[in-house]
Structure 1
Amino acid sequence: MKSLVLEEKHSLSLRDFPIEREEAMGSRDVRIKLHTVGICGSDVHYYTHGQIGPFKVERPMILGHEASGIVIEVGSQVAALKVGDRVCMEPGIPDPNSRATRLGMYNIDPAVRFWATPPVHGILRPTVVHPETFTFKLPDNVSFAEAAMVEPLAVGVHAATKAQIRPGDVAFVMGAGPIGLVTALAALAAGCSRVFVSDLDDAKLEIAARLGPITPINVTKQNPAKEILAATDGWGAEIVFEATGSPKAAASIFEPLCPGGRVVLIGGQSQPIAYDAGAAMVREARVENIFRYAHVFPRCVAMLSSGSIDVKPLITRTFAFDDSVRAFEIAASAPKGDVKMQIAMPQ
């Protein structure tokens, strides 16, 4: 099975990989032929650094976890899906008997197995076996490319849910990468009247400005807190989403926040960050953290189908599977203006 394999840090290859022997079909599983796979920042980080936190690439690993495809085989007890169904897949499989899963927090089950997180292989390969429970049928008007965006969109929707957005709220999203922009879209869909988005990249900010009532802020030229306070008569934003993963950015999360506001930390931090407890205290700020998502994939698919969220402007480049090594090299260079790169699998 020809796959995109991370051999070790800075070393990728397209080669046959004997993954089929590791994936027996269960009675409640489906086999999916992959169609479109997105390149996530975590995939790129494994390529450039060889590890994320405690998860270290110690043997060759197939990359990729944002995907859509077609069901080509179903287990004997599969009821909701059939051969030929177009689907997207939630990449984390928890232990159904764990305490976290039984409490509904399956995304933070310590035993969760997540695609392209060592030692679990990803899905930049022809087919994958996956539980029916975490496989979602697509409406006819949702394309494979849009469906491969459901996984990152789920992060934004989970963050917006944690923020408890109220109609008319003003939000500030720090970071105009894929996660920042899907969070801005989710915030608008949840009822925000206006969203500010900050970044260093004018090209990404231009994309953000076309997504709706979004005000771009280039942090190299403008002070986000001053801009937001001036635009809100000194009150500030009801919600601040931190989606940069930058310790410097995270240190300023309370500056543009209104009294009683909410902060949602999304961006993964590689080291401890400065936290202004005094600034949080005088605002009685509520701070939430998210880890991936839970219970939101069907909501994301429904919003794409209804048109309440449009992710198509975020898909800035598509590569053929045979060019996937070059695609990762380009993604690792962080070219300006690129938001989401995807790989089209052979059909």
Structure 2
Amino acid sequence: MRALVLEEKLKLSLRDIDLPLEVGPRDVRIAIHTVGVCGSDVHYYTHGAIGPFIVKQPMVLGHEASGTVLEIGSEVKNLKVGDRVCMEPGVPDLNSKASKLGIYNVDPSVTFWATPPVHGCLTPQVVFPAAFTYKLPDNVSFAEGAMVEPFAIGMQAATKAKIVPGDTALVIGAGPIGIMVALAALAGGCSRVYISDLVNEKLAIAGQYDGVIPVNIREHDLKAKIAAETENWGVDIVFEASGSPRAYDGIFNYVRPGGCIVFVGLPVEPIALDIVSASAKEVRMETVFRYANVFDRALALIASGKVDLAPLITGTYDFEESIAAFERAASANPNDVKLQITL
């Protein structure tokens, strides 16, 4: 089948590639409709690796997807041909200790679309396990269905934060994931969420949402801003979603005593963490790696209308324009949040 293939660092091609389409008893075959361009896809394109995950051979990109069921396996009961669906792209070993503990996202043997050496889904058809395929409600578009995957990261972060209704939060970084985290925190019960960044265009997009308060750290001292807004107490929760090493400097200044910091962004290099400041406030620290047991709830929130992700889709490309979509994503246009490709 034709697919968008990352041949090697900085080299993409649209070409035919052999991909398996045999449907097992618990699988479904899906016609892909929409695929989001994720920051990890772009990082593999521009750098050829993310930490220990190195592109050593041609790999099909894409993991944020929606589509239509074309065929079901003999044991599939939850789906039928013609169903509109989205897919949770990480499939664990269901017999692993991680899966039995409910933390299948950290199963060492998980296979995740477009993570070397696993091919992704930027191709007209895929075969995928029915257990990780979710039917889209009638009021959820294919474009929104392809947004469930990145929103699930926000859901995982909000879940790990253990939000109490009325909490206040700060999200550091107004990229796609940062905004998703802010929306998930609001949906989880936060009364207001501050979001900081250096780019006014991204802050303006985040600021469209009621309850999200943008802060440009070129123009405002973030520590002073948070102190003034919280009577020198600090926010209940800080979400670090930028991945920038600079974000860790003074990060414990923003959170209240006994509060929580959730690390969502993944720095490329090791960073220093001020454990003394964390201990002095007894700050609870949580980490996020993908998500587990939240995909269906993320979809339910979108379907309910309580979370509107449509304003975050800032560009749509045809499949034959996939390379142009990735080139645009790699250019880091400040007005872009989420680009999508339709097949």
User: How far apart, in 1, do the equivalents of 2:252 and 2:306 lie?
Assistant: 30
- 1:224-268, Cα deviation, whole Å (9 max, x unpaired): 121111011111100000000101112332111111110000001
Matches within 5 A, 1:81-230: 81-230=79-228
Matches within 5 A, 1:33-72: 33-72=31-70
Check whether the contact 2:79–2:130 (CA below 8 A) recurs between aligned residues.
yes
User: How far apart, in 1, do the equivalents of 2:295 and 2:249 lie?
Assistant: 31
Check whether the contact 1:157–1:186 (CA below 8 A) recurs between aligned residues.
yes
Counterpart of 1:10, as a letter, is L
User: Which one is further off, 164-173 or 214-223?
Assistant: 214-223
Counterpart of 1:334, as a letter, is A
Aligned twin of 2:316: 318
- 1:2-51, Cα deviation, whole Å (9 max, x unpaired): 100000000000011111xx342110000010000000000000000001
User: How far apart, in 2, do the equivalents of 1:303 and 1:257 lie?
Assistant: 27
User: How far apart, in 2, do the equivalents of 1:174 and 1:316 lie?
Assistant: 21
Check whether the contact 1:168–1:193 (CA below 8 A) recurs between aligned residues.
yes
Q: How far did 1:309 drift? A: 0.7
Q: How far did 1:144 drift? A: 0.5
Residue identity over aligned pairs, in percent, reads 60
Check whether the contact 2:21–2:29 (CA below 8 A) recurs between aligned residues.
no
Instruction: Give the gaps of 5 or more residues in structure 1.
Output: none
Name the SS for the 1:25 alignment partner: coil
Aligned twin of 2:339: 341
User: How far apart, in 1, do the equivalents of 2:269 and 2:282 lie?
Assistant: 25
User: How far apart, in 2, do the equivalents of 1:253 and 1:127 lie?
Assistant: 44
Check whether the contact 1:61–1:122 (CA below 8 A) recurs between aligned residues.
yes
Check whether the contact 1:237–1:258 (CA below 8 A) recurs between aligned residues.
yes
Check whether the contact 1:251–1:273 (CA below 8 A) recurs between aligned residues.
no
Paired positions, count:
343
Name the SS for the 1:254 alignment partner: helix
User: How far apart, in 2, do the equivalents of 1:36 and 1:252 lie?
Assistant: 40
| Pair 1:258 & 2:256 matched | yes
- 1:39-88, Cα deviation, whole Å (9 max, x unpaired): 00000000000011111111100000000000000000000100000000
Aligned twin of 1:11: 11
Q: How far did 1:277 drift? A: 1.1
User: How far apart, in 2, do the equivalents of 1:7 and 1:250 lie?
Assistant: 35
Counterpart of 1:3, as a letter, is A
Counterpart of 1:158, as a letter, is Q
User: How far apart, in 2, do the equivalents of 1:194 and 1:228 lie?
Assistant: 12
Check whether the contact 1:201–1:337 (CA below 8 A) recurs between aligned residues.
no
Name the SS for the 2:252 alignment partner: coil
Check whether the contact 1:28–1:78 (CA below 8 A) recurs between aligned residues.
yes
Counterpart of 1:5, as a letter, is V
Name the SS for the 2:253 alignment partner: coil
User: Which one is further off, 36-45 or 225-234?
Assistant: 225-234
User: How far apart, in 1, do the equivalents of 2:22 and 2:63 lie?
Assistant: 19
Counterpart of 2:44, as a letter, is Y
Taking structure 2 as the reference length, the TM-score comes to 0.99
Q: How far did 1:222 drift? A: 1.3
User: How far apart, in 2, do the equivalents of 1:327 and 1:256 lie?
Assistant: 37
Counterpart of 1:66, as a letter, is E
